[in-house]
Structure 1
C-alpha cells in the first residue's frame, strides 16, 4: 500500500511540476529506429533529437497539444497530444515522396557540395574571430556557475536496498530530468561567483573569485579540485572542444564537413533576428563527435543557440551521455554574447539505457558585460589562491544579490539534505570509505592524524624480501600551514627497520615561503629517474615491485638528510634552495657494487659514498591551476607544461664529504592536444656533470625491469645498463584515443585506443670517471650510449575492458650488448575517461 501511495504522489508531482512531457521511439517503415530525428513542440523553439536507438524525451514548462516529428528524407508527422503526459509513444515516419524545390536533401550522408548548410558553415568560419568578446580590445563580465551532482535512474528496487536502510528520507525530493526523462536525486551543489577581465591585445585574462559555496563539503578541496578539472571552459567556435581529457570535433570546426553531415532544416525570427536552423550528425560511429542543431544569424553569422549531444558510440568511458546547450544574447545589431551555458554528463559504469549512475550538471550564466576599459598589464598577474575559503566563502545575503540564476526547489533542498546526512552515522561510514579509497589515508579526527598510505603497506625486493610499511601524517585540514609525515618499514629477509620523517612549514602565504626538511634511511632502486630526488619520503615502484624481469638486485642503502627553502616569487614559478647529505652503499654487495678508487683508503677502494650537496631548483609551470592555500596544494588541471632547471654543487670536506663536483640539469615536459588525433606527451632532458664522481652520483639512464608501463623510462633497459655524466634524452608518447581503431569495422565496437611511443637517449662517460669506477667496480659495466643514440619504440593497445593497457616495446639498437632485451611487454591499469 505504501508503494502505491508513493507512486501516486510521485506521478502527481510530475504532473504538477511540468506542463507537457513526451517520450517514445521513432521508427521507419521497416520498424528500424530513426536516429537524429527532430522532435519539436509546434509553434515553439523547444525540441530535441532522437538518440542512436531512435528514442527521445522532451519536457516543457509550457502547455502544448501538438508534436512535430521530422527527418530529412521522410514525411513530417504532426501528432495531437491528448494529455499533458504522453510516454512510450511509437511514431512511424514514411519515406518522403516529394523533394523541396529550393534545396535537394537526402537521408543519410549529406553532400559537401551544393549544400546550403555547408555554405552557411563556411561563413561562420570567416566571421568567428569577429564574434563575441573577440570584437573588442578589452572586456569584463560577471560569471555565476553552479555545479550539481545527482543520483539518477532511481526506482523502488534501488530505494529498498540495504545500503539505504536508515537513509530513506533522502528519497523525498525526487525529480525528473528534462533531457533524459530519468528520475534523479540531487546530492551535491557548488556555487561560484566571479568577475572576469580580459585583454585581446596582450592576450591576457584574469578571473577574480568573489564567492564560493558548497553543500556540506566546504573543506573538501579534493571534491572542489575534481569539479574544476572535470568542467574546463571551452569555446564552441574552436575547432576542438576538450571534455574529460578528450578532444571532440566541434560542429563549427573547419574540419567539420569531413566529420559531420549538415542539413538546413528551418529559418525563423528569434529575438527579432532572422536565423537559420542547421541540423548536424556524425558521418561515422565511434569517433569523438556530437549530434544536434544550432541557430545562426543570417548577417553576422554568429550563433544564437546551439545544442550538442555526444553520440553513445563515442569512444569515451564511464560517461553515457553528454548534453550541452548554449544561448547567446543580442547586444546590438552585430554583437552576440554568451548568456547561458548548460552541460549535463551522465556518469555510469555501463552505457545501457536503464543503467544507474550520477548526473553532473554545470550551469554558467554571464552578465554585466563591459568593453574597452584598459587595465595595466600588472593587473593580470595572479595573486593568492582563487579558492581561499577565508576570502570567498560568503553568507546568504551575498548569494541573494549575486546569484544570476535562482536555485530551484531541488537545488535549495541539497543544502538541507547534506546538513542532515552529516548527522547520520551510516552516511559518515560511507563517506569515510570513499575518502580512504580516494586519498589512501585513514582519518583519525580526534588525533588530527591520517594513517597511510594504505597503498604502500606491502612490497617486495631482492634485498628485503617481503616488506611492510606503516605511515602517518598530521592533518588538521586541507589548508594546514604545516605538516609532519613519517613512516616505518620492516624487511623480513634482511630483518632491518627502515624509516622516513619529513616536515613542511608555510612561513608566508603570499610568497609561498616554505621551509622543509627530513631524514630517510631505507633501501632504494636509484637510477629510475635522470633527475635525482631529494624527497626524503619518496620511493619508486621499482624498489618494491612484486614481479621483475631478470635480477632486481642493484639496490642501494640510502641515508638521506635534506633541508630546503622554497618561494614562489611569480605565479607558477617556484625557486628552491637546499642542502642535503647522503650516504650510499650497496644493499647486496655480492651482486651489485658501488666501489670506486680511493687513494686515501687502506685497500685502495671504498664501497661507501658520503656526500654533501647544495642545490638550486627553478620550476616553471605556465598555465598550472591549483587550489588551497596551505603548505600543500592540489592541482586542478593537467594540461600545463613543466620546465625544470636544477643545479647541484658537491662540496668535498663539508661534513666529511667525499667529492667536489657540479651537475647542471634541464627538462621540459609538455602535453599537446593534436586536434582530433589525440594527445601527445613529450619530454626533453639534458644534463652534465662537471668533475669526477663515483657510480652512485652519476646519471643513470632510467631502465625499467618491472612489468608496469612507466613513462620516462626505457622498458628494454636493465637498471644501470647505461651510465653517463653527459646526456640528452627525448620521450614521445601519442594516444590516438581510438581514432584509427574506430575505422576498422570488426573491432570498432570494442572502443580500443592506440598508443605509439618513441624514446631515445645519447650520453657520454668521461675517461676520468671510467678510471675512477671501472678498476674497482666489476659487477656493473660502465657503458654510455655515445656511439649512436639508443632508441626504443612501442605500440600499445589501451582501454581493454576499459581499464587495461598493454604496450609492446622494441629495442632499436645496441642489440649486441650482453643480455640485451630486444622485446618486452609492459602494461598498466586505471580508470580513465
Structure 2
C-alpha cells in the first residue's frame, strides 16, 4: 500500500512539473492596462490575449522556459520563466521606436489600407466554405459531446462560509481552469455520443444518438432545457454567430473590417502547412464582439485554429467570460475538417475580476470521418429513437470506447460526488430552492406531486377583488406519459371558489398521439386574445394583474369542458381535433353586458351563451427543438416560426348549444435575426366568422389595460374597444440589443437596449351581428374605415432587469376615453 502511495505521489509530482502556467497583468510605462496584448509561448501556437483590464492567464500541458508578450505600438518582451507556475506577474511594455514595414502602425486602431492581415482576410472570404464535409457527395463521422457546469472562484473564505458548512468534503478535489486560472468544482456533467450521416446530393443529414449519460441536475426540466438552449451549433465562417439570443459579429465576417482591428502577428508551420497568425480585437466598446486570434493556411486560406473571447464591455448580462476554441484537421490541401470545438461561459452577477460564478463548458470532438458511401434515401428517413432506454444505460465499456476525449479526474468523480450530495439535507435544500425558482413548482418526491404554479398564487380584478390560487400536478419525471393537473382559487369580493382540472395521456410515442381533456369554472378576460379560451388551466395576466389602467370590469364567467386528440404525423407538424362546451356570461353585468337578442327567451333577451364547438387545428413549428419524449416535452429554443390554421364549427342544438357558425383563423409568427442589428419579431393574424353570433363569440382586437408590455396586444386599446367578425392584425417589434446606444458616449456604459414597435389592426363587424348584440352596454365598432395603428419606443436592460415602453396611439383618437399615450414595462432576467 505504501509503495502504491509513493508511485501515485511520484506520478502526480511529474504531472505537476509537466505543465506551465502563467498569469498576471500587462501595463504600459504609466501603469495603464494594455488590453488585447498577445501572450504566447515561443515556437508554439499556444497563446492568448489580455482582457479589457490587461489581465491574462495561459496554461499548457507542455513545459516552456519563456513567454513572449507583444502588442502593436510596443516593444515585444520575452520573459524567462524560473518556475512552472508563475502567477501575479506584472509586465511593463515599452513604447516602440520603430514601425513595421508591412503595416502602418497606430496604437490601438489599425489601418484598413495596406494591411496584410486584411488582405489575408479577403482571401478567406473568397475561399470560405460551410464545412469540409460539404466537399464530398456523402459523409459520416463520430461526434462526442461533453457539457459541464462548475462552481468557480472557490477560495478559503467560500469553503469556510456558513453557506457550505457541513459540505466541506465537496472541495477536496479542485481543479484550475486553463482559460481563466480560477479554481472550480464540477457540479453537472452530460455526455453524448452519436454518429452523423449526410448526403450532399439530396441535401439531407441525420444523427443517430447512441449513448447519453448525465449526472447532477439531469432530472430537472428547466435546467436541462437551459443547458440545451445554451449551446447551439455555429459556424465561425458565418458573418454572425448567435449566442445567448444575441448576434455577435464573427471575426471572419465580411463586415469584420468595420468592427475589428486586425494585425498580422506571426507565421509558422502547423501540421506541415505554412500558416499565418492574425490577432483581432474590437474597434469600439459595448458592441457584441470578440477578441482573439486565428491561424490560417497560406494556400487554401482555411482556418486551422481559432479562438474567440467575448469582450467584457459587450452588451450582455450575467456572463463575465465567453471563450471559444476550434481546431481543424488537415486532410489535404483543400480539406480542413473540424476536429475539436470548445466553449466556456462564465456566468456571474458581476463582471468584476474576483466575482464568483458558474462555468458552463461544452467540448465537442469529431473523429472517424468517412466519405462517399452511398445510402438509399430510406436510410435517412429512418431516424433512430434518441430516447431509447438503451441509450441511457450504456455500460463502462461503451463509454470507454465512445469518449473521443477522456474525462479528467474531477469529471470522473462527479458522478460519485453528486450521488453523495443528494443525500445531504443541506444540499437538497439548495437544490429545491433552485428548482422552485426555475419551474415555479415545489417538488414533493415522496408523492410524485408538484405544488404550484407559485407565480399564480395572488391576483386582483374588479370582479373577484383579491384572489388566491393553489394548484398541483403529478410529476414522476420529465418523460411522464400521463399527467394530471388542477387548481383551486378563491375571490374575496365575490366570495366564490373557482377550479380547473386537466389530464393528458400519451397513447403512442412515435406519432405523439395525445388524448387530453379537462374542465374549468373561473373568471377570465376574453378581450386579450383573438383566439378562444380553451386552455383549461391557463389564465391571462389581464384578469390577474394587480394594477390596471382604467376600469378592468369587462370580465367573463366561463364554464368550460374540453376534449381533444392530437398527433404529430411529421416532425414539428401537429394536428389537433377536439370539441368544447362553453357557458359564457358577464362577471359584472351592470358594467359589461353580454346580453343578446333571443326570441325564445323570456323577455326576448338572453344573458348567457351555451356553445358546443368542434375544431381542427394545424400547427407547424419548423426548427423547434424539444427535450423529453413524454406527454409534455420542453421547448429549448425560441427562434422558430409558428404557423397556425384553425377551423371551428359551432353546432346548434347539440348539448343545448345556442349557435350555428363557422370560424377560420390563421396566424404566422416569425423571429428574425437581422445580423448585427438585433432581433425582429413579426406576427400576422387573420380571421373570419361566418354566421350570426353574439358579442361573447366574436373576435375582439386584443387590448391591454395592464401596466405590462404584452406582445400581440395593443397597449393603448381598452378591452372590447374594437370587436370584429373579420379581422387582420400585424405586429412588428425590433430589439436593437444596444446597437444604437453603444455609439453614444454617455449612454454606452449603461448597456441599455433600444426597442421599437409598430402595430396595426383592421376589421369589420356586420350589421346583423351588431343587431344581435344590441342590448350590450358598450359601443360595438370595428376599425373598418381605416387601419388602427400604434407605435412605441422602449428602453430595455435598465438595471439589467427592467424594460419600459412608451406607447403612442396613431388614430381613432375620438373614441370614448381613448388613451393617446401609455407606459408599460416588464421585468425579466435576459442575457
Would you say the 8 A contact 2:339–2:365 is kept in 1?
Answer: yes
Alignment correspondent of 1:5: none
CA distance in 1, matches of 2:523, 2:733: 31
CA displacement 1:193-247 (0-9 Å, x = unmatched) = 1112233344333222111111144433433322110000100000000011100
Would you say the 8 A contact 1:450–1:475 is kept in 2?
Answer: yes
CA distance in 1, matches of 2:192, 2:380: 20
Sort the Cα spacing of 1:386 and 1:422 in 2 relative to 1 into closer, same or farther, 3 A: same
Aligned residue runs from structure 1 range 463-478, under 5 A? 463-478=463-478
Matched, 1:452 2:452: yes
TM-score (norm 2): 0.97
Sort the Cα spacing of 1:261 and 1:216 in 2 relative to 1 into closer, same or farther, 3 A: closer
Matched, 1:583 2:588: no
Alignment correspondent of 1:614: 614
| Count of residue correspondences | 821
Would you say the 8 A contact 1:381–1:571 is kept in 2?
Answer: no
Alignment correspondent of 1:750: 750
> 1:783 is matched with which residue: 776, 781, 784?
781
Alignment correspondent of 2:806: 808
How big is the alpha-carbon RMSD for the aligned residues of Structure 1 and Structure 2? 1.6
Alignment correspondent of 2:252: 252
CA displacement 1:167-211 (0-9 Å, x = unmatched) = 110000111111111111111111011112233344333222111
Alignment correspondent of 2:825: 827
CA distance in 2, matches of 1:200, 1:679: 31
CA distance in 2, matches of 1:421, 1:13: 30
C-alpha deviation, 1:385, in angstroms: 5.5
CA displacement 1:559-618 (0-9 Å, x = unmatched) = 001111111111111101001010000000100000111111221111100100000001
Matched, 1:484 2:484: yes
Alignment correspondent of 1:400: 400
CA distance in 1, matches of 2:572, 2:384: 11
Alignment correspondent of 1:50: 50
CA distance in 2, matches of 1:20, 1:464: 69
C-alpha deviation, 1:685, in angstroms: 0.4
C-alpha deviation, 1:377, in angstroms: 4.2
CA distance in 2, matches of 1:238, 1:382: 31
Would you say the 8 A contact 1:239–1:253 is kept in 2?
Answer: yes
C-alpha deviation, 1:131, in angstroms: 5.1
Alignment correspondent of 1:632: 632
Sort the Cα spacing of 1:539 and 1:188 in 2 relative to 1 into closer, same or farther, 3 A: same
Alignment correspondent of 2:212: 212
Aligned residue runs from structure 1 range 66-465, under 5 A? 66-129=66-129, 132-381=132-381, 383=383, 386-465=386-465
Sort the Cα spacing of 1:126 and 1:20 in 2 relative to 1 into closer, same or farther, 3 A: same
CA distance in 2, matches of 1:522, 1:228: 36
CA distance in 1, matches of 2:79, 2:285: 31
Alignment correspondent of 1:697: 697
CA distance in 1, matches of 2:379, 2:518: 39
- Give structure 1 stretches of 5+ with no counterpart: 1-8
Would you say the 8 A contact 2:209–2:384 is kept in 1?
Answer: no
Aligned residue runs from structure 1 range 410-809, under 5 A? 410-774=410-774, 776-777=775-776, 779-809=777-807
Would you say the 8 A contact 1:348–1:357 is kept in 2?
Answer: yes
For structure 1, which segment, 333-342 or 90-99, has the greater mean C-alpha deviation from structure 2 after superposition? 90-99
Sort the Cα spacing of 1:796 and 1:18 in 2 relative to 1 into closer, same or farther, 3 A: farther
For residue 331 of structure 1, give the secondary structure of its aligned residue in structure 2: strand
CA displacement 1:284-341 (0-9 Å, x = unmatched) = 0000000011000011110000000100000000000000110000112211000000
TM-score (norm 1): 0.97
CA displacement 1:736-789 (0-9 Å, x = unmatched) = 000000000011010000000011010000111111112x11x21111000011
CA displacement 1:434-492 (0-9 Å, x = unmatched) = 11111111122222211111111111111111111111111122111111111111111
CA distance in 1, matches of 2:30, 2:163: 45
CA distance in 1, matches of 2:621, 2:789: 28
CA displacement 1:678-722 (0-9 Å, x = unmatched) = 101010100000000000000000000000000010000000000
For structure 1, which segment, 418-427 or 541-550, has the greater mean C-alpha deviation from structure 2 after superposition? 418-427
CA distance in 2, matches of 1:645, 1:399: 46
Would you say the 8 A contact 2:130–2:235 is kept in 1?
Answer: no
Sort the Cα spacing of 1:130 and 1:503 in 2 relative to 1 into closer, same or farther, 3 A: closer
Would you say the 8 A contact 1:756–1:794 is kept in 2?
Answer: yes
Would you say the 8 A contact 1:558–1:582 is kept in 2?
Answer: yes
Would you say the 8 A contact 1:52–1:311 is kept in 2?
Answer: yes
Alignment correspondent of 1:4: none
Would you say the 8 A contact 2:505–2:631 is kept in 1?
Answer: yes
CA distance in 2, matches of 1:49, 1:390: 45
C-alpha deviation, 1:13, in angstroms: 8.2
Would you say the 8 A contact 2:206–2:383 is kept in 1?
Answer: no
CA distance in 2, matches of 1:380, 1:699: 44
CA distance in 2, matches of 1:468, 1:412: 47
Would you say the 8 A contact 1:616–1:646 is kept in 2?
Answer: yes
Sort the Cα spacing of 1:305 and 1:478 in 2 relative to 1 into closer, same or farther, 3 A: same
CA distance in 2, matches of 1:130, 1:166: 52
CA distance in 1, matches of 2:673, 2:396: 41
Would you say the 8 A contact 1:388–1:628 is kept in 2?
Answer: no
CA distance in 1, matches of 2:544, 2:131: 56
C-alpha deviation, 1:79, in angstroms: 1.1
Sort the Cα spacing of 1:40 and 1:489 in 2 relative to 1 into closer, same or farther, 3 A: same
Sort the Cα spacing of 1:260 and 1:451 in 2 relative to 1 into closer, same or farther, 3 A: same
Would you say the 8 A contact 1:705–1:715 is kept in 2?
Answer: yes
Would you say the 8 A contact 2:148–2:188 is kept in 1?
Answer: yes
CA distance in 2, matches of 1:680, 1:828: 18
Would you say the 8 A contact 1:384–1:510 is kept in 2?
Answer: no
For structure 1, which segment, 450-459 or 683-692, has the greater mean C-alpha deviation from structure 2 after superposition? 450-459
C-alpha deviation, 1:106, in angstroms: 3.0
CA distance in 1, matches of 2:396, 2:826: 47
